[in-house]
Amino acid sequence: MSHFIRKVLISNYGDPSTVSVVTATIAAPTTNEVQIKVLYAGMGGADIAMRQGIYPMQRKTPLTPGYCLIGRVHRNGPSSTKFQVGDLVACLTVYDAQAEMCNQPEKHLVPVPEGLDLQQATALVLDWNTAYGLAYRAAKITAGQRVFIHGLSGSVGYALLTFCKMQGADVYGTASTSSHPVLREAGATPFVYSDKNWIEATNKLGGAHVVYDALGFESWEESWDILCKDGGRIVGYGSNMNILNGGKPRSQPLAIAKLLAKGSNPFCPNHTSFYYIDRDQKTFRPELEKLFEMLAKGVIKVPIRKVWSLGEVPEAHRMWAKGPGIGAVVVKVAEEDVR
């Protein structure tokens, strides 16, 4: 039996005018699926890239965005028995989370402890889980290292700042001027990206042991130039420069190949790696469960930059990267007590 739902729809690749909220039907969950009544969905750069048609190997339009969600089980498919109706679950969906209901494979659902702040918990599913892997696995940050993070005020950037400080690193990075006071209070030394003063300042310190660069393209070359002369690592992810600057969409493969070529010399002390997150990775579930535990114990606190309602998502696309604030952007789909 199908249901009528409201959902966000990107009709075709292009500017924010392609985004609308429509009424559509959702089919019953199939054999191994669970139908979730969505409470909160994530919103981030991936949604903007999908709208522009430049997200790697993305689904063709029309599509419903929303890379992650937290919600309650509404209905089980015929072979799904792990969860009861009303159970609180999280899922890295990649698509379809910005809707009142969403069908997802049962194997990809992660139980969410009751009592958590659900806005903060939503940001853990993708952004903070990404940052956790970047800090603890992609570069294995240790005490005393100099770490440079582009986009400190973003959701992943701020989470990276948090985890790197927990490891005892000295953290530097780029962010808009309005966010600098909060970032300094959090223990970082922030710079403005556009004036390039961060390049000279970092080199005067002896360079960075690790640079996390979510901007890509020309920024990767600049990040290479601030690595420690005796060896450092760039970790690339995101390639969000054109999204933040409102420029024309650009393809990533050439920039990635160019960066990899820089480290191909066997005598070069510097290294490059790229990081992505996937719900099928064996690390995904245990790291998300660890983050839920950290949130419950007050070890971490997730700043929320903006909460949009489902009906406001088209406006969120028009306002993306505009205005002050630090942290995650989430979409409130329904009240938290919906069962």
Could you give the C-alpha distances from 38 to 29, 115, 127, 194, 226, in angstroms and in order?
Answer: 15, 17, 18, 39, 43
CB burial of residue 162 (10 Å; 0-12, 13-18, 19+) = buried
Average pLDDT over residues 130-144: 96
Give the residue from 11, 137, 102 showing the smallest Cα distance to 331: 102
Kindly report the length of the chain.
339
Determine the pLDDT at residue 67: 97
Q: How far apart are CA 22 and CA 98, in angstroms?
A: 11
What percentage of the chain reaches a pLDDT higher than 90? 78
pLDDT of 251 above 70: no
Question: Could you tell me the two tokens for 33?
Answer: 């699926």
pLDDT, tens only, 190-204: 999 999 999 999 999
Looking at residue 253, the DSSP 8-state letter turns out to be: H
User: pLDDT tens, 213-241?
Assistant: 988 778 888 999 999 988 899 998 876 65
The alpha carbon of 64 is separated from its chain's Cα centroid by a whole number of angstroms, namely 17
Tens-digit pLDDT profile for residues 264-314:
677 777 888 889 999 999 999 999 999 999 999 999 999 999 999 999 999
Q: What integer pLDDT is reported at residue 339 of this predicted model? A: 44
State pTM to two decimals: 0.93
Q: For residue 16, what is the DSSP state? A: G
- Mean pLDDT across the chain: 92
Residue 39: partners with Cβ closer than 8 Å, 6 or more residues away: 69, 70, 71, 72, 118, 332, 333, 334, 335, 336, 338
Predicted confidence (pLDDT) at residue 322 exceeds the cutoff of 90: no
Domains and CATH numbers, the chain: 3-124+285-332 (3.90.180.10), 126-274 (3.40.50.720)
- Does residue 148 contact residue 209 with C-beta atoms inside 8 Å? no
Least confident of 4-18, 30-44, 227-241: 227-241
Q: Which of 231, 331, 228 is nearest to 6 (CA)?
A: 331
For 15, 78, 99, 165, 195, the CA distances from 23, given in Å and listed in that order, are: 21, 26, 10, 45, 46
Region 40-54: mean pLDDT is 93
* Intra-chain end-to-end CA distance of the chain, in Å: 19
Q: Map tokens 């114990």 to a residue.
A: 297
Mean pLDDT for 109-117 is 97
Q: Which residues contact 324 (CB under 8 A, 6 or more apart)?
A: 176, 178, 179
Residue 263 has pLDDT above 70, yes or no: no
d(CA 286, CA 110): 10
Q: Is the pLDDT of residue 56 over 60?
A: yes
Bond from prior residue into 62 cis (ω within 30 degrees of 0): yes
**284 and 107 Cβ atoms separated by less than 8 Å:** no
